[in-house]
Amino acid sequence: MVTFLIYKDYGMTGKKISAIGFGGMRFIKDNNKYNIDKCAEVVRTANKLGINYFDTAPHYCNDTSEEIMGYAFKDMPNEFYVSTKSREKSGDLVRRSIERSLKRLGISKITFFNIWYILSLEDYRSRMVKDGAYQAAYKAKEEGLIEHIVFSTHCNGDDIETIVKEGFFEGVTLGYNILNFPFRQKGLKAAYEHGLGVATMNPLSGGLIPQRHDYFDFIKEFENQSVVEVALKFNASHKEITTVLAGMCSIEEVIQNAQFGNSINSLNEEKLKSLKTKLLSSMDYLCTGCRYCDSCPNNVRIPELMLSYNQKTLGQVQDAVTWLNGQWRLKPEATNLCVECGKCEKLCTQHIPIVNRLREIKKWLV
């Protein structure tokens, strides 16, 4: 069993972070309910194997992730760091969120507090106003409730560069993986060059890479590798990336992922060039299944529909129809309730044109 990992500097904070971090968004239910003891044991096993960065947030796993983490933290075998978030804009609401997270997590200080869900420069500016989100976080930091203020974003590279240049943050959590890297590198490099620690989310594209391992076989360098190993090591091999957040729901996954964090090679430029020629620009807009859009006023099952649309992006329309009918049991009328209000698009962290995709899907189902 693995007992160590490669550790990297998190920006200029002085923290040494495991190259593989624990993403707390993928816990799974037993009989439609989260087994707190079982989930907490997965967290503790990760820490026992050397993982020391644990990322969670309000609302993850039906608002249970912080509770699971807090239960696990009562009996962790090694030192660990905690990342959590708030997407509120009001300073008062951010303060409440911080206090609630501290209580749930059972800790006195949040190591990395993310100003969460920044979608654009306009959105960023709205967090920086007087009595806004950032000011509340900074006050909490002065009081010793937060150690480092960071931000979480799906903005494009230019916007990320603008944000990091303004100098308010010590780190960033951003979406980056082997499928979308040609379209996300500018933001990543800007963060690194300005001394920020970088945690990357969605390294497996929301589980899409292992689900379609046959399709993504081209990313492998050696026959005996798994696509999961290649994808995680791809992110970890970047000098710009401090930790790769892998969602883990079982002890088996923890053991496997921790092993991947023990042997990381430098990036092969020839391999990068080869990958770039094989990747379509549409890969940057694959749905990761985060479910932030799952608040349709008419109960359209948008996450399931977007995940099915992935199959069309990766293959043929028939693959997507099979997913709709077989995987999700969606009927031809699945999209008819959409009134194109646009609420889902405003919530989408990846700026996916959901309404247009729903129109396309409607044509497949006729």
- Scanning the structure block, which residue is given the tokens 């999961």? 228
Q: How far apart are CA 58 and CA 38, in angstroms?
A: 20
- Scanning the structure block, which residue is given the tokens 């053991």? 255
Contacts of 206 (CB under 8 A, 6+ apart): 286, 287, 288, 289, 290
pLDDT of residue 318: 65
pLDDT of residue 3: 55
**Ramachandran bin of 197, using left for φ above 0, alpha for ψ from -120 to 50, beta for the remaining angles:** beta
Beta bridge partners of 152: 173
The parts of the chain modelled with pLDDT lower than 50 are none
Q: How far apart are CA 228 and CA 117, in angstroms?
A: 26
Tokens of 92: 């008062």
- Scanning the structure block, which residue is given the tokens 């080869």? 274
In degrees, rounded to 5, the angle at the alpha carbon of residue 12 between the alpha carbons of residues 8 and 14 is 65
CATH of domain 7-279: 3.20.20.100
pLDDT of residue 163: 96
Q: Quick check: 312 and 319 in contact, CB under 8 A?
A: yes
Q: How far apart are CA 226 and CA 105, in angstroms?
A: 34
Contacts 24+ apart (CB under 8 A), 135-142: 135/91, 136/91, 136/92, 136/94, 136/95, 136/98, 137/86, 137/94, 137/98, 137/113, 139/91, 139/95, 140/95, 140/98, 140/113, 141/113
Q: How far apart are CA 256 and CA 261, in angstroms?
A: 9
- The CB density around residue 259, as the number of other CB atoms within 10 Å, is 15
DSSP conformation class of 7: E
Tell which residue, 228, 288, 218, has the closest CA to residue 258: 228
Q: For 251-301, how does the pLDDT look when each residue is reduced to its tens digit (9 = 90+)?
A: 999 999 998 888 887 776 777 777 777 776 667 778 877 778 888 999 888
Domain with CATH 3.20.20.100 in the chain: 7-279
Burial 139-178 (b: 16+ CB within 10 A, else e): ebbeeebbbbbbbbbbbbbebbbebbeeebbbbbbbbbbb
DSSP conformation class of 41: H
pLDDT of residue 278: 72
Q: How far apart are CA 364 and CA 366, in angstroms?
A: 6
Is-above-0.95 flag for pTM? no
For the CA atoms of the chain, what is the radius of gyration?
20
Cα torsion 151, 157, 159, 162: sign: positive
Q: For 233-259, how does the pLDDT look when each residue is reduced to its tens digit (9 = 90+)?
A: 999 999 999 999 999 999 999 999 998
pLDDT of residue 1: 53
Tell which residue, 90, 21, 32, has the closest CA to residue 64: 32
pLDDT of residue 317: 60
Q: Quick check: 116 and 152 in contact, CB under 8 A?
A: yes
Beta bridge partners of 22: 54, 246
